Amino acid sequence: MNYKRILLKLSGEALMGEKQYGIDIDRVAQYAKDIHDVHARGIEIALVIGGGNIYRGLSAEKAGMDRVQADYMGMLATVINSMALQDALEKTGVKTRLLTAIKMEQICEPFIRRRAVRHLEKGRIVIFGAGTGNPYFTTDTAASLRAVEINADVVMKGTRVDGIYTADPLKEPNATRFDQITFDEVYKKNLNVMDMTAFTLCQENNLPIIVFDMNKPGNLMRLVDGEPIGTLVKG
């Protein structure tokens, strides 16, 4: 498939690289180069990044913090990651815009759908920060929502594993990978692709999802070139 506009979802944990916490600048630079190379092909790119390398609302809730407060703190963590990736991308020579669901005028623009689409049409890479702006929703849901809003062709979920498996490949060495799977099969097999809200949003809007290993340099380009990288969820 020829992609005109993609929504790339990156996990916050992946930005840690080999560290136990925070942001690995080398990993961010690798991501920025891969994104830059695909953008140079004329493909419009929007990004959503998690915040788990800095703060996880669910973990804080389990420790006794109010869930709403914890989730807002997690949203701020995604903005920190977004700013780091924005800096790395602009060092490669591309123009970017950071739009957030929580107003922070000194560092970014508020999310306005028409403005986001216009930035993409002008060739800017758009980064969506602060999730949906609401507690109880994950950044996976934010990615699916923004992808639907901007009429993206696909959600590409870059993770540390190279697709969807029958079981967790990090725990089950005999787990096998799916090259392609339907939304219904994911439900039936109870596979962990995204949280259910995010996944259902993609299914209801016929928006395909590709899960792939973003940590391998060049994989994003291979995916765009049509190579069978990762797992495609559709239909």
Number of neighbouring beta carbons within 10 Å of residue 205: 12
Give 10-residue mean pLDDT values along the chain (235 residues): 93 86 93 97 97 80 86 95 97 98 96 98 98 96 98 95 87 90 93 91 96 94 92 93
Could you give the CA distance from residue 208 to residue 104 in angstroms, rounded to a whole number?
32
Q: Which two tokens stand for residue 140?
A: 């996976």
* CATH number where 82 lies: 3.40.1160.10
Q: What is the pLDDT of residue 50?
A: 95
On the 0-12 / 13-18 / 19+ scale of CB atoms within 10 A, 146 is buried
Give dist(CA 83, CA 128) in Å, integer: 10
Cα dihedral 28, 30, 33, 39 sign: negative
pLDDT the model gives residue 1: 65
Domain containing 58: what range?
5-234
Question: What's the confidence (pLDDT) of residue 58?
Answer: 66
What is the CB neighbour count within 10 angstroms for residue 43? Answer: 16
Q: How many degrees, rounded to 5, is the angle at CA 193 between CA 228 and CA 217? A: 45
Predicted pLDDT at 161: 85
**How many domains, the chain?**
1
CB-count burial class (<10 Å; 0-12, 13-18, 19+) for 154: buried
User: Residue 57's pLDDT is what?
Assistant: 67
Specify the pLDDT at position 18. 82
Angle between helices 139-149 and 196-204 (to 10 degrees): 20
Contact, 187 vs 133, CB < 8 A? Answer: no
Size of the chain in residues: 235
Nearest to 231 by CA among 176, 150, 172: 176
